[in-house]
Amino acid sequence: MKQILLIASFVMANLIGIANANADDEVVTWTCNQNAQFKTSGTPEKLKLTWQSRTYDMDRQISLPGSLRYKSAASGYDLVVLGNKAMLFNIKTGTRLADFCQTAEMKEGKLSHLFADAEPFK
């Protein structure tokens, strides 16, 4: 009986882990001015940014109230998300790579999904 309970517990833990992984793997497309586009996946704390066919790990940084900020030290990429738009910078070269980027939900006047579990306006 103990073995059956142990196996059942293991199976349930794996199913819960798979459900969480699938939610984190959701890919969100951002469209920007000048036909630029990038994609994100992951959690509001740790993003994966896909820009020009390459993927970068982005860590959430402390930011001003009402904004979210993600940086990749290796690439120099810096993603700033405001209530109605996002901007992608390369801080190593001092250039703005993409401006006025929005997800489909942002185009409908909603906040980005990244604000879901965050407290950006406090």
Q: Decide: 25 and 40 in contact? Cβ < 8 Å.
A: no
Model confidence at 10, pLDDT cuts 50, 70, 90, reads very low
The pTM of the full predicted model, rounded to 2 decimals, is: 0.75
- The band of 83, judged by pLDDT with boundaries at 50, 70 and 90, is confident
Write down the pLDDT at residue 116.
77
How much is the pLDDT for 99? 97
pLDDT tens digits for 40-66? 999 989 999 999 999 999 999 998 888
Q: Where are the domains of the chain?
A: 27-115
- 25 burial type by CB count under 10 A (0-12 exposed, 13-18 middle, 19+ buried): exposed
Kindly report, residue by residue over 91-106, the tens digit of the pLDDT.
999 999 999 999 999 9
pLDDT band at 18 (very low <50, low <70, confident <90, very high): very low
Q: Rounded distance, CA 79 to CA 30, Å? A: 12
Residue 95's beta-bridge partner residues?
Answer: 90
The larger pLDDT score, comparing residue 92 to residue 5, is at 92
Higher per-residue pLDDT: 52 or 22: 52
- Rounded to 5 degrees, φ, ψ at 28 are -115, 130
